[in-house]
Amino acid sequence: MRLRIQHWSGSAGLRIRETKEVFEGEVTELTPCETENPMEDMERPSAIGPQHYESLQKERVEVGDVIYIEANWSRKGRCSQEKEVIQDVTLHDLDVATHDPRMLTYLHRALESSLAPIVIFATTVGHRRCVSPHGIPLDLLDRVMIIRTMLYTPQEMKQIIKIRAQTEGINISEEALNHLGEIVQGIIHSLCDKTSFRKPGCIVLMYSVQLLTPANLLAKINGKDSIEKEHVEEINELFYDAKSSAKILAEQQEKYMK
């Protein structure tokens, strides 16, 4: 397993204080051309390069915003001042994570720190070339608590689909919701392999959730305000879930190019 240290370094924050000379004031005009009109002491034009102007556009700076510009962007003037700038960053922002499995040695040592946060690992890896469970060294594996996970029940799957439909603003009848649950259970029973580490439940659940949008479009085409059972049946005949498609490819592999 190629673990990344970025989640660890991302949980450790750093606050950098730096004093910069800046121009600070309200934006009264923002144009890509330089003006030569004389200004008062508290109002002055600032000529900046095209790259700096593009950065202001990306930040969506508008007239009326109060901003500051670093002194090295423009000439010095009477409205310049020194300002303390505080930047909150993480260790990951300063040092990109390494992909080398040997970083686990650093992680193991970092867990000894009194400031160490709670680290949660999530993996579906059984065994890899590294001779240890989940590809994690045994000395690190002995320090972790392994959480037991359970498969979703049919009622939980229907509730997840219902919540997703509510989030997307989709109306679905109880009959259509039950039929989606039956589709999930039917595919799981036909594809479940006891020798496989990863059960197909979560994958099929994602497939059933993805059926909501096309089923909703079909319902609107038919002049319906909510998804009915017949809409789910028609959409389900048009698509395959990932596991079913892989099974068909395995059974008919001689018909495909290699």
pLDDT tens digits in sequence order for the chain, 258 residues long: 344 455 555 565 556 666 766 666 666 776 665 555 555 555 555 666 666 677 777 777 777 776 766 655 444 444 445 566 666 656 555 444 444 455 566 566 666 666 666 666 666 555 555 566 766 777 777 777 888 877 778 888 888 889 999 998 999 999 999 888 888 777 766 655 543 434 445 567 788 888 899 999 999 999 999 999 999 989 988 888 777 788 888 888 888 776
Domain containing 177 equals: 154-249
Q: Quick check: is 67 in a domain?
A: yes
10 burial (CB, 10 Å; 0-12 / 13-18 / 19+) is middle
Q: How far apart are CA 46 and CA 131, in angstroms?
A: 63
Query: What's the total number of domains in the chain?
Result: 2
What phi and psi values does residue 170 have, to the nearest 5 degrees? Answer: -105, 130
Residue 43 shares a structural domain with residue 135: yes
pTM above 0.75, yes or no: no
Q: Quick check: is 255 in a domain?
A: no
Residue 50 shares a structural domain with residue 94: yes
Q: Quick check: is 49 in a domain?
A: yes
Residue 144 shares a structural domain with residue 191: no
Residue 195 shares a structural domain with residue 237: yes
- Closest by Cα among 207, 192, 211, 193 to 242: 207
Residue 63 shares a structural domain with residue 178: no
Q: Which amino acid is at 28?
A: T
Q: Quick check: is 257 in a domain?
A: no
Residue 20 shares a structural domain with residue 143: yes
Residue 228 shares a structural domain with residue 130: no
Residue 214 shares a structural domain with residue 111: no
Q: How far apart are CA 21 and CA 1, in angstroms?
A: 47
